[in-house]
Structure 1
Amino acid sequence: MGTVYTNNNSKKYWIIGGVVAVVAVVAVVLFFLLSGNNDEKKLKDFYTLISEKKYDEMYECLSEESQKTYDKETFIARNQNIYEGVEASQFSIEVTDEADHQLTYTVKMSTVAGEVSFENKTMIEDGKIVWNDSFIFPNLTSSDKVRVSEDEANRGQILDRNGKMLAGVGKAYSVGLVRGKLNGENDYDKLADLLSLTKESIQKTMSASWIKDDSFVPLTTIPSTDTQLENQLLQIPGVQLNTEEVRSYPYGEVTSHLTGYMQKVTAEDLEKHQGEGYTENSMIGRSGIEAAYEKELKGTNGATISIIDETGSTKGTVAKQEKQDGQDITLTIDVNLQKDLYNAFEKDQSASVAINPTNGEVLALVSTPSFDSNDFIYGFSTEEWDALNNDKAQPLTNRFRSTWVPGSTMKSITAAIGLETNSLDSSKDFGAEMKWQKDSSWGDYYVTTLHAPNPNHLKNALIYSDNVYFAKAALEIGKDNLEKGYKSLMIGEDIPFELALTKSQYTSDSFDNDIQIADSGYGQGQILMNPVQMASIYSSLMNDGKMMTPHVVKSTESSVWAEPFSKETTDEIKADLIQVVEDNNGTANSLKNNQYQLAAKTGTGEIKASQDDTTGTEIGWLSVASTDSSKPIVITTMVEDVKNRGGSGYVVSHVKQPLMSYLQK
């Protein structure tokens, strides 16, 4: 029995001893593995602090010896200046070897000069990083500097369809002072008055510590075309004008709502576009094509990150990225037509859209009154900015983006919907009535018209623009067919266009009311139309029922937006619209000429609180098209407040010259 116990105990102790031995071996292995993993984690955590710009916490991760070599203030300033100067981000660390707490690893990071990748080594002592300047970039020493040289990309131009520059490089003068040449305080007064600056702001600028007597100190930028201002400035001792390149808009107000403008970036811009090459001195597209195509126009700046030794010589290049100039954006716009339409309505609050109905190319896109995009380059005084914003005519409002009561321009659309849905007989005589209501349930509400032709069928109703006819027609067409027609015309849908447009709309709920259905037939009711969409709809009437997608950038492929009408429908409507011009009683008869056959529809949208309101305003409309297949064009113009100015006739008389000039060129 004793032998048995001895053997069992012996075996037992051997097993335990074996377990202890295995545990000891595993512990040693785990110690080294975990130690290594811990070293790797320390390194990666350190780079995380770099990416988070926590430079003070980075310093606490340094070994005792490293902290003796680099005081905290120097370390923080050194790292912050370099990492933020090269715009380092998106760090990736891969440890490729480790032995005796020495780590070999690969660093990848994004910088202003593209991706930087290099292999490096470091030691971990007592859980702390042994750090010197080569940790940032290999071969960098404490006496070296890191320099970033930028090569700014040229911004792309905005061109019209014929290559005429709408936005691009122009010349300007940088106005500055050389302090040593100034006569005295009176010069500050003269300069402040000429440049719309304050004397105090000029004096503050000139008091900077870096300025020497022979230093040129820039104050502002002025157009190089203002020769009178140039001569007045040069009469002041100490004033110097240096030529510089600026963004220029040679057509000024004519194209500014279209091209948009640029402004200096804000802190929000820099945060939103971090890593995209913007600096505190950058300009950015703020509206129009400048904003919509900012990325393409801007291009990519070139940059070189170099290590410079204490003698000022280039020790090595860390990374280099060649600049890529911005793309030119060519528009479908004919700037001559754009200019003619602008000049015709310069003093009005208006929007004009010209479209090629066969392909959707926008030939002109005008909003008046306007502003000058150049002013945003040169800057505003407080008084100038306040005057622009407080102008009752609202020149900053882009009217081709907005929606408006369409008035009688909806009559052609109502008719086309009726024909397309077989709910309107174009030969039916609805009877000539100057004042009409469906029945006594309408109370005091009547539809009135200025002209009631006899016979009162569709063609005459369009020629004379009879409200009563189209009120009756809308009720005959019916709510469901009208809604179906509006949907086929994409009314209520987002407008596919390079610039943001307010979508046209109709209120479906109100169609349960017969008065609203009747009013919608002649463009009152609850309908609001965007001028670009209105021009597109009239284009379909000239293009066998195909409504092309409107576009203003020439590279955009033409496509069909919708096919609301058949050729049979559009042929009949087009023939009637030709008579609106050709017939002596037509509301657009003044457009009649011996050279070109035109089709047109006028409209006057009333904006008033009630039917009896006499204080409301009127909006004038015209949609006119050439039927000549070699000169395809539709122009839609909306003018605010034409009441007592001829109504839609005012619009007709002002569109005629730009249209004829375009057709005759």
Structure 2
Amino acid sequence: MPPRLDTLKNARQELRIFRFRALLALVVVVALTALLTGRLVYLQVVEHDRYSTRSESNRVRVEPLPPTRGLIYDRHGVLLAENRPTYNLTLVRERVEDLGRTLERLVSLLELPEDDVEAFKRRSRQRQRPFQPALLMSDLSQAQIARLAVNRHRLPGVEVEARLLRYYPEARIMSHALGYVGRINADELENLDAGRYAGTHFIGKTGIERFYEKALHGQAGLRKVETNARGRVLSELGRQDPVPGRNLTLTLDTGLQQLAFDLLEDRRGSIVAIEPDSGEILAMASTPGFDSNRFVTGIDVEAYQALQQDIDLPLFNRAIRGHYPSGSTIKPFVAVAGLREGVITPEKTINDPGYFQLPNDSRRYRNWLRWGHGKVDMERSLAVSNNTYYYSLAHDLGIDRLERQLGAFGMGQRVAHDVQGESPGLLPSREWKRERYNQSWYPGETLSVGIGQGYLQITPLQLATATATLANKGEWVKPRLARKIGDEPLPRDLPDTPEDIELDDPDGWNTVFNGMQKVLSGREGTARRAGKGLEYAMAGKSGTAQVFSLDKDERYDADELAERLRDHALFIAFAPADDPQIAVAVIVENAGGGSSHASPLAREMTDAWLLDEGHLPDDDSASEDRASSGEEG
């Protein structure tokens, strides 16, 4: 057997190993303790502000407080735009763990129609600032609110908030003038002041709502609230109240606006009425209208397409964007142009054989009365609406001077102070035709402009503004829709007001006025039927504008034409003639003659303002002046 080796225990070696292991453990413990202590120091001291803020944010939340939008009233205090309480559904994407699943739950709970689902999901994806709520749905029903409340624990980041929603009591008749508010889209969000619009979901889109957006909106506030882990508000820690928007008082008269709509009877057209002395727009109707309340919360696709495809174009604001030939309503302004340029005098007469010919041109430019009016001066030319007189006058003026003088009345330019979306119309010139058609200007085209045809295109607002300026004997007062912003009245003299129109002989104004009065009161007046029984002196001018051109020697027969190819009916008026309180422009599309179809509407408007509203001046001396001059009324 091999020899047995006895192993002796080495105590010193074991002690050395133990001490090494103990020291190593101590070093590791000390290192870990130092690391932990260093980390704690770093978090508690170095990063104190950062983590304190993050911790506070988990407990304390800052919520925006949107301002209350200002109300809109008419000149008599009738409420035109108010704020009604409603409930909105909002979502904060940063607090939603699974956006797709949350949206599916919401679609199911809200029982949304299939057509609305895509729009609903698109709003949830719309770009928002971090932790800003996105508006998913407005004006929730009580049933929808109840279902959302029961399932609130399953919908983190989703809130039902009480808000005020814009509502228009007179939506149909005021839709074009007031405009409407709508949801803020992504493009608008990029350009908005983040602080001013915090928590705001709606913004003015068109009309007065858009032009005075800054005044109507106000300034957003905020509140600091304490929340629990589920995000429920426990208490309010601080608040900065929002500044509400300022109320707006308009110049519009709801009764007169309603009358304008009733007179048009859903025909296509426009009526604009202005107070000449102040420039206040009393009525600005465009028919047919539409219900602007449908656009506030978002109109559905089918309804919007129906409005767009409607042949009568209810969304089109004819009062400020409709382009029409002025027809013979241009003649008073051409007469003033001739007086200003010194190419004619009130007493000068022409002999009208029923047509006008340019020198060395065989073509005959016909008067509407084919056998002519015989001897015609300025007063009679207006009363009988003689074309030959104005062919001759336009030829003597030439297009350059004619364009300059008509431009002085606001034609071919935006005339109003606060009418959003206004079109400048078209006042043709040599330069315009060269640029547009690369053609020279022909003398015959000047004749067409002289009777309100050809390239000339005006809007009803421009025509009413020119009539108001004429009623003021050339004094310009810029039209406006706002009367007061808050408690501050809009000044009478506004920036960029055109220069006044002056005549070397002020009696020239009276000649034009007398001719326009004879339109309604004279034996030969084209609108004498509308002038019967007038209780005041009224000055007016009828116009009939061709929709398409007739061939040489071709006669116009409305019965043989499709309705939309018939002439437009126009009429301008101001009254009382010696102290104008109202100026009116009426355009009825495809109605026929202005004397028969538009003048009665203008008469109804002036009667309502002067007689029903009590604006007829009580001036005995003015009545005596009218009687001595032989004027009716």
AA in 2 matched with 1:620: A
Residue 653 (structure 1) aligns with: 600
Q: For 1:82-93, what aligned pairs fall within 5 Å after superposition?
A: none
Q: What TM-score, normalized to structure 1? A: 0.67
Of 245, 250, 257, 1:338 maps to 257
Q: Unaligned regions of 5+ residues in structure 1, if any?
A: 1-63, 70-101, 103-120, 124-129, 176-187, 209-217, 224-229
Residue 545 (structure 2) aligns with: 605
**Gap change, CA 1:609 and 1:599, over 3 Å in 2:** closer
**Gap change, CA 1:146 and 1:434, over 3 Å in 2:** same
Of 502, 508, 517, 2:423 maps to 502
AA in 2 matched with 1:409: T
Of 544, 552, 556, 2:490 maps to 556
**Gap change, CA 1:425 and 1:347, over 3 Å in 2:** same
Structure 1 SS opposite 2:348: coil
Matched, 1:153 2:70: no
Residue 50 (structure 2) aligns with: 135
Higher strand share: 1
Q: How far has the Cα of 1:165 moved from its partner?
A: 0.9
Residue 273 (structure 2) aligns with: 354
Q: Deviations over 1:599-637 (max 9, x none)?
A: 001111213256458764422211111026676000112
Q: For 1:156-167, what aligned pairs fall within 5 Å after superposition?
A: 156-167=70-81
> Is the Cα–Cα contact under 8 Å of residues 355 and 364 in structure 2 kept in the other structure?
no
Residue 244 (structure 2) aligns with: 325
Q: How far has the Cα of 1:549 moved from its partner?
A: 1.0
Q: How far has the Cα of 1:353 moved from its partner?
A: 1.3
Residue 642 (structure 1) aligns with: 591
**Gap change, CA 1:146 and 1:219, over 3 Å in 2:** closer
AA in 1 matched with 2:63: S
Q: Deviations over 1:333-373 (max 9, x none)?
A: 11111110111114222122111111211111111111111
> Is the Cα–Cα contact under 8 Å of residues 424 and 477 in structure 1 kept in the other structure?
no
Q: How far has the Cα of 1:329 moved from its partner?
A: 1.0
Residue 156 (structure 2) aligns with: none
Q: For 1:386-465, what aligned pairs fall within 5 Å after superposition?
A: 386-402=305-321, 403-441=323-361, 444=363, 446-450=365-369, 452-465=372-385
**Gap change, CA 1:136 and 1:334, over 3 Å in 2:** farther
**Gap change, CA 1:570 and 1:629, over 3 Å in 2:** closer
Q: How far has the Cα of 1:314 moved from its partner?
A: 5.8
Q: How far has the Cα of 1:405 moved from its partner?
A: 1.2
Of 371, 388, 396, 2:290 maps to 371
AA in 2 matched with 1:589: R
Structure 2 SS opposite 1:561: coil
Residue 299 (structure 1) aligns with: 218
> Is the Cα–Cα contact under 8 Å of residues 472 and 580 in structure 2 kept in the other structure?
no
**Gap change, CA 1:427 and 1:252, over 3 Å in 2:** same
Q: How far has the Cα of 1:434 moved from its partner?
A: 2.3
> Is the Cα–Cα contact under 8 Å of residues 222 and 378 in structure 1 kept in the other structure?
no
AA in 2 matched with 1:641: N
* Cα distance in 1 for residues equivalent to 2:596 and 2:583: 18
* Cα distance in 2 for residues equivalent to 1:331 and 1:315: 39
Structure 2 SS opposite 1:562: coil
Residue 78 (structure 1) aligns with: none
Q: How far has the Cα of 1:590 moved from its partner?
A: 2.5
Q: For 1:468-617, what aligned pairs fall within 5 Å after superposition?
A: 468-499=388-419, 500-509=421-430, 512-554=441-483, 555-559=489-493, 561-566=498-503, 567-592=506-531, 593-609=533-549, 611-612=551-552, 616-617=565-566
> Is the Cα–Cα contact under 8 Å of residues 639 and 651 in structure 1 kept in the other structure?
yes
Q: Deviations over 1:86-125 (max 9, x none)?
A: xxxxxxxxxxxxxxxx9xxxxxxxxxxxxxxxxxx998xx
Q: For 1:27-106, what aligned pairs fall within 5 Å after superposition?
A: none
Q: How far has the Cα of 1:530 moved from its partner?
A: 2.5
* Cα distance in 2 for residues equivalent to 1:222 and 1:374: 16
AA in 2 matched with 1:401: I
* Cα distance in 1 for residues equivalent to 2:116 and 2:277: 60
Residue 572 (structure 2) aligns with: 623
Q: How far has the Cα of 1:546 moved from its partner?
A: 0.8
Moved more, 516-525 or 649-658: 649-658
AA in 1 matched with 2:571: L
Q: Deviations over 1:181-237 (max 9, x none)?
A: xxxxxxx99x98xx9x449959x99xx9xxxxxxxxx986499xxxxxx9xx99xx9
Q: How far has the Cα of 1:136 moved from its partner?
A: 7.0
> Is the Cα–Cα contact under 8 Å of residues 352 and 531 in structure 1 kept in the other structure?
yes
AA in 1 matched with 2:543: G
Q: How far has the Cα of 1:135 moved from its partner?
A: 2.5
Matched, 1:271 2:190: yes
AA in 2 matched with 1:454: G
* Cα distance in 1 for residues equivalent to 2:328 and 2:38: 82
> Is the Cα–Cα contact under 8 Å of residues 68 and 244 in structure 2 kept in the other structure?
yes
* Cα distance in 2 for residues equivalent to 1:65 and 1:363: 79
> Is the Cα–Cα contact under 8 Å of residues 66 and 131 in structure 1 kept in the other structure?
no
Residue 101 (structure 2) aligns with: none
Q: Unaligned regions of 5+ residues in structure 2, if any?
A: 1-34, 90-106, 125-135, 151-160, 434-439, 484-488, 613-633
Aligned length: 503
**Gap change, CA 1:469 and 1:137, over 3 Å in 2:** farther
Q: How far has the Cα of 1:414 moved from its partner?
A: 0.5
**Gap change, CA 1:508 and 1:66, over 3 Å in 2:** farther
* Cα distance in 2 for residues equivalent to 1:315 and 1:444: 85
> Is the Cα–Cα contact under 8 Å of residues 620 and 647 in structure 1 kept in the other structure?
yes
AA in 2 matched with 1:556: L
* Cα distance in 1 for residues equivalent to 2:88 and 2:416: 42
Residue 110 (structure 1) aligns with: none
Matched, 1:289 2:228: no
Structure 2 SS opposite 1:607: coil
Structure 2 SS opposite 1:371: coil
Over aligned residues, Cα RMSD in angstroms? 4.1
* Cα distance in 2 for residues equivalent to 1:436 and 1:517: 13
Q: What TM-score, normalized to structure 2? A: 0.70
Q: How far has the Cα of 1:541 moved from its partner?
A: 2.1
* Cα distance in 1 for residues equivalent to 2:320 and 2:116: 42
Residue 83 (structure 1) aligns with: none
Q: Deviations over 1:308-331 (max 9, x none)?
A: 6879766965xx432110001111
Q: Deviations over 1:254-313 (max 9, x none)?
A: 011000011111122212214144368611111000111111111112202356687976
Q: How far has the Cα of 1:519 moved from its partner?
A: 1.5
Higher relative contact order (CA 8 A, sep 6+): 2
**Gap change, CA 1:537 and 1:565, over 3 Å in 2:** farther
Q: How far has the Cα of 1:556 moved from its partner?
A: 2.0
Residue 86 (structure 1) aligns with: none
* Cα distance in 1 for residues equivalent to 2:590 and 2:163: 44
AA in 1 matched with 2:169: P
Structure 2 SS opposite 1:141: helix
* Cα distance in 2 for residues equivalent to 1:143 and 1:434: 87
Q: Deviations over 1:65-92 (max 9, x none)?
A: 99978xxxxxxxxxxxxxxxxxxxxxxx
Q: Deviations over 1:575-620 (max 9, x none)?
A: 1111111013212222322412100011112132564587644222
